[in-house]
Amino acid sequence: MLSLFRTNQVLSTIFVLFFAALMLAAPVFLQAKYVPTEYGVAYHYLNVFINGKSSTALIIALVFLFLGAFTINYIDLNFRLSKDINMMPGLFYVLISCTAPQVGPFSPLHGGNFFLLLALHELMDTFKKNSVSDRVFNAGFFLAIASFFYPSYLVFIVLIFVGLNVMRGFNFRERLMAVCGLIVPYVLLGVGMFWFDQFDLFWRLQITRAFGLLDFDGLRLTVSSVLEMMVFCILLLALIFQQGRLTGKRVIQSQKRINLVYWTLFIAILSVPVQANLQFQHLMILAPGAGLLAGMLFSTMTRNWAEFLHLVWFALVLVVQYQAFIFPG
C-alpha cells in the first residue's frame, strides 16, 4: 500500500481520499445523525450548512483532509525535509487524523489543521530571507482562521515566536507583524458579524465560551479511546526518540525546519488546559507535526517493516471505526 506514495507526483495525494473515506464513513453507513458541538464561528456555520447530514459532513471532512495532505506533501517537497522524495507525510497526516476519537465524520480540527499547516509553511519560508513581513503576517492570519474552527489554536502564536527565533533570530518588529496578522481577522469578522446582528454569536463562540481551565467534563473513557490514545503515545515516543535519525547528516536549513515541526508537537500540549469542552478528538491537533515526522520516519524504514506497521495501524483504525458492525450490540 505504501508503494502508492513512494513517488514524486504530488497528485498521488488523491489516493488519500479513498483511505480517509473508508476510515470515516461508518456514521454514514449507520445512517447516524450528525450532532456537532459548539466550537468556533467557522465550524458553527459549516454545521448549519451540514444540517445534521452525516454524508455532507463526510464530504467536507474529506475536502479538508485532502487539502491538508496536499499542503503537508508540498511542505515536505518544497523544503526537502525527507531524505527521499515521497508522498508519505500526507498519508500519515490523514491516518493520524482518523486515528483520533471523533464525534462524527467532520471535526473542527480538520479545518484548523489545514490552516495551521499554511501558517507552518509561511514560517519555514522565512529562512535567510531579507524581507519576511508578508510571510510573518500571513502566518498570524492563517492561525486566526484556524482558531475560527477551534479556538485553542491561538496557542500556536507561541509557535510563530519560537519559529522566528529558530529560523531567523530575535526581531521585535516581526513579532509585532505576527500579532497584527492574528488580530486583523478577528476585527474583520467581529465587524462583519456586528453588521449582520450576529456579534453575540461571535463573542460567545470566540471569546467567552471558547476557553476553559482544565475543562475535562466531556471526556468519556472507552476501550476504543484508550486504544487510540495508546497509539498516539507510542507514536509520539517513537518520534521523540528518533529525532536524531531525522535531523542527522542534514543541511542546516533542513535541521532548523525539522526542529520547528517538533516544536508544533510540544506547543500543541499548551492547548489542552485552555480549550473549553475538551474531548478526545483534541488529539487530532497533533496531526500536522506528527504526520510530517511519521512520513519522514517511515520513509527511512525497510519497506517490509514499514508496510507491516502501516497495515497494523490502518487495520486498528478500521476496527475502532466500524466496531458497531464488527461487535453489534
Check whether 208 has a pLDDT greater than 90. no
Using pLDDT thresholds of 50, 70 and 90, give the confidence band for residue 237.
very high
3-state secondary structure 62-88: HHHHHHHHHHHHHHHHHCCCCCCCCCH
Using pLDDT thresholds of 50, 70 and 90, give the confidence band for residue 144.
very high
Q: Kindly compute the dihedral angle of the four CA atoms of residues 151, 153, 155, 159, in this order, to the nearest 10 degrees.
A: -160
Residue 78: alpha-carbon gap to chain centroid: 19
Q: Based on the structure, what is the number of domains in the chain? A: 1
Mean pLDDT of 172-177: 91
Check whether 217 has a pLDDT greater than 70. no
pLDDT of residue 44: 93
pLDDT of residue 147: 96
Using pLDDT thresholds of 50, 70 and 90, give the confidence band for residue 216.
low
Check whether 39 has a pLDDT greater than 60. yes
Mean pLDDT of 186-203: 95
pTM score: 0.94
| 130 grid coordinates | 531579507
| Arithmetic mean of pLDDT over the chain | 87
pLDDT digits (tens, 9 = 90+) for 110-137: 999 999 999 999 999 998 888 888 999 9
DSSP state of 275: B
For 152, the domain range is 2-326
Check whether 215 has a pLDDT greater than 80. no
Cα–Cα distance for residue pair 26/102, rounded to 1 Å: 11
Cα–Cα distance for residue pair 177/260, rounded to 1 Å: 19
pLDDT of residue 25: 82
Residue 83 · residue 249 · CB < 8 Å: no
Residue 110 · residue 64 · CB < 8 Å: yes
Of the candidates 288, 227, 237, 317, the one whose C-alpha atom is nearest the C-alpha of residue 76 is 288
Q: 24 versus 202: which is more confidently predicted?
A: 202
Cα–Cα distance for residue pair 55/234, rounded to 1 Å: 32
| 320 grid coordinates | 475502532
* Least confident residue range of 8-17, 27-36, 205-214, 238-247: 27-36
Neighbours of 8 (CB within 10 A): 10
Sequence-distant (6+) residues with CB within 8 A of 199 are 190, 193
3-class SS of residue 91? helix
Check whether 329 has a pLDDT greater than 60. no
CA distances from 238 to 6, 107, 245, 273, 275 (A): 22, 26, 11, 24, 27
